[in-house]
Structure 1
Amino acid sequence: MIASVTVLAVIVGLTAAAFGAVFVQRSTPTEPPDDNPINRDGRPLQPVPEVTPDGMTERPAEIDELGWDGQDVAWQPCEGGECAEVLAPLDWDDPAGPTAITLFMRKVPATQSPRLGTIFVNPGGPGGSGADFATGFDRTGLEQYDIVGWDPRGVGASTPVVCSDTDMEILFNQDSSPDDEAEREDLMQAEVNLGASCLENSGQLLENISTVDTVQDLDMLRSLVGDRRLNYYGASYGTEVGARYASMFPQTSGRLVLDSAVDITGEEEVAQSEGFQRALENFSQWCAEQEQCVLGGSAEEVMGVVTDLTVKLDSEPVSVGNRSLTQSAFVTAVAQMLYSDESVWSYLGQGVDDARNGDGQLMLAIADSYWNRNDDGSYGGLLKSFNAIRCLDEPDEGYAGADADAAAAAEVSPWAGRFMGPDYGCPSWPVAAIEDPGPIEAEGAEPILVVGTTGDSATPYENAVSMADQLGVGRLLTFEGNGHVAYGRNECVNTTIRDYFLDRVPEDETTCSA
């Protein structure tokens, strides 16, 4: 069983960490220390300290002469390909400012001639490592391209957001769907404390880590590798990066594939909780149709087992060594598995059955893989970067707005909306959101391929429909199936995307079936 858990953690870790439009959940209740004040009238904004995270440096004098896009890219052999570091201005509004940050890239070089250029890849998150993603990107049929992934600012081996692992642990130990005012207060305080620790350790970076900043980095990288136009594959949040690029730089937009589109309308026709609810219902129907399914003979029975167990775990967590599988950890694990499709859903059925019989090991391991939690209690960088980026991008309506959104979600999503709880991340963030950069439209850009999966949990299919329409030059590719991110899972989808990168652009909408 231990070996199975390890393999499964790798599978689902790639699903959410590499492709995640991440939601945030927590685990065993632990009272957070009251270190920082909660501001119920707005974000608890704090002075920005002068700290220097790794890779932040003084702007080199040669940039004055060469410009940012005149740097030499010194590729060196590294695991999985070739790697390089370049610099970018901390603040693109003041590119002559005194401070620079580091951006890390990994290239998997083309293996066939003639070379067609570069495809930049971004796995989403926000907070996923593009450098890691490049080594696993399916390049079948695309061997004439260099595949380049970069860690966006604030992420991985680029200048990273740094937060306290202790505060991460405390946050993930809260009840994510608080049942009373005390639990609600603890959840808010834990979010505030984590945000304060990120500001204390990351300083000015937190004011300069928006999607707009990343898009300007990407255009610089395009120029540095010598490409006239950007060719790009972005998954999940990576679709926002690609769409914003086409809006800001339509004249240098080339072939852009935006897979599992996020909402760019600002209206969010279908909330993420509805996507997870839909995916859980699809799992329940699938499970009921399997001979080996022990959760029930109908979708309603399976859903009832999952719901009843979720309720029970709130007051009766299952011990796993010196830890516990609580309601919040269980919800995280279920959602983690819903990023995937039927190929791994048997593990979800097994995990639910184990948990209801007093064994929470598998589900807690799945939750840990989502959280990027290591055995020693330390955390990877994905969820540290997540709030730093999205909360700079997004204004919020405070705790009252988060509570109202959670109540509305529970009305239409009886499991996901009810148990995922309110999102207090941005109302607790110590840095203000940037000024609205305006709507995302792509007039003047080349045709853009927008991909949506009908059973996508994290980015509901409707987002792809609206993104293709709003861009104005979108070509919609629909995958009739389950899971988050379509490329690499279906030959019809793969062929359509590869043909597009080889200048065979679909004239109309395309539909592929699982």
Structure 2
Amino acid sequence: MAIPSRLRAAALATSALLLSALLAGCGDGGKDGDLSAQKLDWKGCPAPSEAEGGGTAPSPLPGGGTWQCATMKAPLDWSKPKGDTIGIALIRAKASGPASKRIGSLVFNFGGPGGSGVSTLPAFGEDYAALRARYDLVSFDPRGVGRSAPVKCESDAQLDVYFQQDATPDNSAERTALVNRTKQFNAACEKNSRQILPHVSTTDAARDMDLMRQVLGDAKLHYFGISYGTELGGVYAHLFPRNVGRAVLDAVVDPTQNPEESALGQAKGFQLALDNFAEDCTSKTSECPIGNTAQDVKDRIAKLLNDLENKPIPGIPPRQLTQTAATNGIAQSLYSKDFWEYLTEGLEQAYEGDGKVLMLLSDSMNGRSENGEYSNITAANTAINCADEKPRYTADDVQRKLPEFRAASPLFGDYLAWGMVSCTDWAVPGAADHPDVSAPGSAPILVVGNTGDPATPYEGAKKMVEALGKGVAVELTYKGQGHGAYDSKDACVQSAVNAYLLDGKEPQTGTVCS
């Protein structure tokens, strides 16, 4: 997930609540301060917290296995490794095969930034059942996320208003309102999360992962990173190249781009996905219910969004479907081809004046549950991005770039361009224009790119291969749709990835699955 942080969701907490959450994990790091020697206390997993997205405790695994959870202590400030600590929430499913065949732990990061691995891994656990034969499957809430010293900004009620705002301003008054509302959100993050904000960068998370490797008892980090998780994996390989084991990067972030270039790339990627959706609908033998030709489908969507600018329609009471919420819902549905049928249904209903389905899709993107509670994905997403990214864009900067964004995507151009103001007046300076992932001396890393990926366009995989350095990356291409390749369940992709992770057999670089 890499939609602008301004369009993500958060949960309320007061400064006192944040402080108590941090202090619950604080301590002296053990008698000698050696956090790598700590022992994890694995227990049954509770239901996900509100910040993790809520819901019920994870169900038992097929065959009777159970999910276990623990908390790892990590330094609050990695420049002071023997200072105060925070708790990093972990989850695992122990390897299902014989102990003699076990390789170690396979650590997952599913992206965001800001996604809870503790809640996501159980939801997709069956998709990785083959890997569990030789690995303990492990994931975590990165610092600032879920149960790991979560960043907290605004209340659920405030966020309902936040996500109803006009995120594609058309005049100076609307531009001023958007910038002021962004500053208000960011000020709330500083007020409620002052202690953690300087320490949620991707570099901090990568150092946490190396500590995790040691605490889990592994000589090497075996890793599966998806979306933003590929950036985290690349940064880890840069910092600890000799500690890289078998690693897979799927749905690859372009590590050479600054935030503006990344947003422009996403505009092109989402436009391509929309083009493919429209072509798919109108090329089927049965009549496409939302247009007669691919261009007709896109024209009708554009008209819907234009109409919603001035006259929202009923969504999920008491909220209405605004132009921004509809655009957000459409973007969410383009993350997976499996969602295309919901997009078709949502558009059909919206044309009849019912915005419920598109609003449900938008709520899913924003981390809003049916009971109106938000996870902290927007707060964490904003905090991590703004800690990583040095540029700070103004409304004038965006205004100058709008023609280029609109040329890249008539539908998503404005939406993604205005997302660049999300770090306006952020309390912590950003680290760099883009991450350093050069990793000379690393073990081979399998880099998997999807030609139809909207959120992390295919070109990013090639840029990651180059940036990792000569002799490090093994490139695999999937000619498909949606965000990511392995979870498409394509037999060719899964066979290649499984052979590498389970048996160390690298596919020939440049292999194409279609």
Q: Quote the offset at 1:414 in angstroms.
A: 1.5
Deviation for aligned residue 1:167: 3.6
Aligned CA distance change for structure 1 residues 345 and 25 (closer, same or farther; 3 Å): farther
1:168 positional shift: 2.4
Alignment-derived partner of residue 495 in structure 2: 495
Match of residue 95, structure 1, among 70, 81, 92: 81
Q: Percent identity?
A: 36
User: Residue 245 of structure 1 is aligned with which of 218, 236, 240?
Assistant: 236
Instruction: Report the alpha carbon displacement of residue 504 of structure 1 after superposing the two structures with TM.
Output: 0.5
For structure 2, which runs of at least 5 residues remain unmatched after alignment?
9-14, 46-57, 59-65
Residue 374 of structure 2 corresponds to which residue in structure 1?
Answer: 379
Alignment length (residue pairs)? 472
| 2:177 alignment partner, SS class | helix
Deviations 1:424-450 (A, max 9, x none): 211242222136796320110011111
TM-score by length of 1: 0.87
- 2:415 paired with 1:427: no
Partner residue, 1:273: 267
Secondary structure in 2 aligned to 1:495? helix
AA partner of residue 2 (structure 2): A
TM-score, length of structure 2 as denominator length = 0.87
2:128 alignment counterpart: 139
Corresponding residue number in structure 1 for 2:468: 471
Match of 1:176 in 2: 167
Structure 1 pair 438–373 and aligned structure 2 pair: CA distance change class (3 A): closer
Q: Give the counterpart letter for 1:445 in structure 2.
A: S
One-letter amino acid of the counterpart of residue 130, structure 1: G
Residue type of the alignment partner of 2:196: L
Amino acid at match of 1:296: G
Instruction: Report how far residue 53 of structure 1 moved.
Output: 4.9
What's the Cα RMSD here? 2.1
The 8 Å contact of residues 103 and 157 in structure 1, kept in 2 or not, is answered as: yes
CA distance in 1, matches of 2:42, 2:437: 34
Instruction: Say if 2:33 and 2:82, in contact at 8 Å, map to a contact too.
Output: no
Other-structure match for 2:49:
none
Shift of 1:59: 4.8
* Distance apart, 1:60 and its partner CA: 3.0
- Residue 410 of structure 2 corresponds to which residue in structure 1? 414
1:294 corresponds to which residue? Answer: 289
Report if aligned partners of 2:401, 2:417 keep a CA contact under 8 Å in 1: no
**C-alpha contact 1:296 1:302 (8 A) present in aligned 2:** yes
| Residue 314 of structure 2 corresponds to residue 319 of structure 1 | yes
Structure-2 change in CA distance of 1:395 and 1:315 (3 Å): same
The one of 101, 104, 113 equivalent to 1:126 is 113
The equivalent residue for 1:308 is: 303
Output one character per residue of 1:394-423: Cα deviation in whole Å (capped at 9) or x when no partner. Answer: 012421333334442112211110344512
Query: Residues 285 and 110 (structure 1 numbering): CA distance in 2 closer, same or farther, change over 3 Å?
Result: same
User: Which of 202, 205, 211 in structure 2 is aligned with 1:211?
Assistant: 202
Once residues 288 and 83 of structure 1 are traced to their aligned partners in structure 2, the CA distance between those partners, rounded to angstroms, is 47
The 8 Å contact of residues 167 and 190 in structure 1, kept in 2 or not, is answered as no
Match of 1:85 in 2: 71
Q: 1:68 aligns with which of 35, 39, 42?
A: 35
Counterpart amino acid of residue 224 in structure 1:
V
- Conserved in 1, the CA contact under 8 Å of 2:6 and 2:378? no
SS in 2 for 1:119: strand
Q: Counterpart of 2:54?
A: none
How far the C-alpha of 1:171 sits from its partner, in A, is 2.0
Check whether the contact 1:331–1:420 (CA below 8 A) recurs between aligned residues.
Answer: no
Q: 1:324 to 1:51 in 2, by over 3 A?
A: closer
Please identify, of 219-228 and 353-362, the stretch whose mean Cα deviation from structure 2 is larger. 353-362
SS at 1:226 equivalent: coil
Q: Is 1:21 aligned with 2:2? A: yes
Distance (Å, rounded) in 1 between the aligned partners of 2:18 and 2:358: 38
User: Taking structure 1 as reference, are residues 101 and 402 closer, same or farther at Cα in structure 2, changes over 3 Å only?
Assistant: farther
CA distance in structure 2 between the aligned counterparts of 1:224 and 1:203, rounded to whole angstroms: 28
Distance 1:441 1:457 in 2: 25
The alpha-carbon deviation at position 198 of structure 1 amounts to 1.3
- Measured after TM superposition, the shift of residue 51 of structure 1 is 6.0
1:56 aligns to what SS in structure 2?
A: helix
**Counterpart position of 1:34:** none
Residue of structure 1 equivalent to 2:481: 482
SS at match of 2:455: coil
What is aligned with 1:453? 450
| Partners of 2:20 and 2:92 in 1: CA distance | 25
4+ residue segments displaced more than 4 Å: 24-27, 48-51, 435-438
- 1:41 alignment counterpart: none
In structure 1, the residue matched to 2:51 is none
Distance in structure 1 (CA, Å) of the matches to 2:212 and 2:231:
18
> 1:310–1:419: structure 2 CA closer, same or farther, 3 Å change rule?
farther
Q: Deviations over 1:328-351 (max 9, x none)?
A: 01100100000011x331221121
- Shift, 1:23, TM fit: 3.0
Identify the range of structure 1 (50-59 vs 104-113) with the bigger mean alpha-carbon deviation. 50-59
Q: Is the 8 A contact 1:50 1:203 kept in 2?
A: no
Deviates more, 1:141-150 or 1:377-386: 377-386
Cα distance change of structure 1 residues 381 and 58 upon mapping to structure 2, 3 Å threshold: closer
Equivalent residue letter for 1:506:
P
Q: Choose 239-248 or 284-293, whichever is displaced more.
A: 284-293
Partner AA of 2:476 in structure 1? L
CA separation of 1:405 and 1:206: change in aligned 2, threshold 3 A: farther
* Distance in structure 1 (CA, Å) of the matches to 2:428 and 2:158: 18
CA deviations 1:252-303 (Å, max 9, x no partner) are 0011111101110135486111110111011110111131412222111111
The answer to whether the 8 A contact 2:29-2:35 is kept is no
